[in-house]
Amino acid sequence: MQLQTFQNPEQLATHTANYIIDLVKNKPTATLILTSGDTPVLTYKKIVELAQPADFKQVTIVGLDEWVGIPASSEGSCRYIVEENLLKPLGLNPTQYTFFDSMTSDLASECKRVDELLFSKGGADLIIVGVGVNGHIGLNEPGYSFDNYCHVSELAEVTISIGQKYFKENTPLTQGITIGLKHLLEAKVAILIATGERKAEILKQTIETEPSVELPSTVFKVHQNSFVWIDEAAAQLL
């Protein structure tokens, strides 16, 4: 795990965007697993600003997770956030990307569908994630195995509470459908980005704790080619 601190979110986003752009230039058919949330949105906007859209015409994009029972049209869905801030501005063809269908009555089959897509690509070339205040990665909550591929998770109370910020009104959240940590471990590059002082404590725990399923973010210590990129506010306890 390689830790690097940046002065502010803008600097971090520019660095991350350039890294992804360079990766795609070197492998135009790259498979990227992308997250939603507040932190990556600035990175996606930087990619749109700095990239040549033609460079992304052969990539495959896979969404990291979704809230079960929340439609893709919701402003709080992973698909909505990634589409509106990256995929549509770049002009990607919808055939290039896939997100979990969180409204399906057969979540197991949906997990299998996304697993098989990633297996067919030889795994992801890059996965980018944020981190929850309880250390969750994607919607892999504490206690879920590092050996899981795509799966359904029961959401922690803190995740349900903080998740409300993505919605205009109170929204019932109970489960997530998510890329498992085994896919993260099998990705060629894994990147965690975090900004702001509210992430400082969990980053301190992540850096100081031995790898454990009780703190999913410690999976980055197990990955052979992982990066943790944070701003100074998030690094204040390190």
- Give catalytic residue positions: 65, 134, 136, 141
Q: Find out whether 183 and 63 touch, Cβ atoms under 8 Å.
A: no
Amino acid at 57: K
Q: Find out whether 2 and 221 touch, Cβ atoms under 8 Å.
A: no
What's the DSSP call for residue 51?
Answer: S
How far, in Å, CA of 223 to CA of 28, rounded?
Answer: 24
**What length is written for the chain?**
238
Q: Which two tokens stand for residue 117?
A: 């897509």
Q: Find out whether 180 and 190 touch, Cβ atoms under 8 Å.
A: no
Residue 226: how many other CB atoms lie within 10 Å: 20
DSSP-based three-state secondary structure for 48: helix
How far, in Å, CA of 52 to CA of 25, rounded?
Answer: 10
Residue 238: how many other CB atoms lie within 10 Å: 14
Assign 3-state DSSP to the chain and report helix, strand, coil percentages, each to 5.
Answer: 40, 20, 40
DSSP-based three-state secondary structure for 42: helix
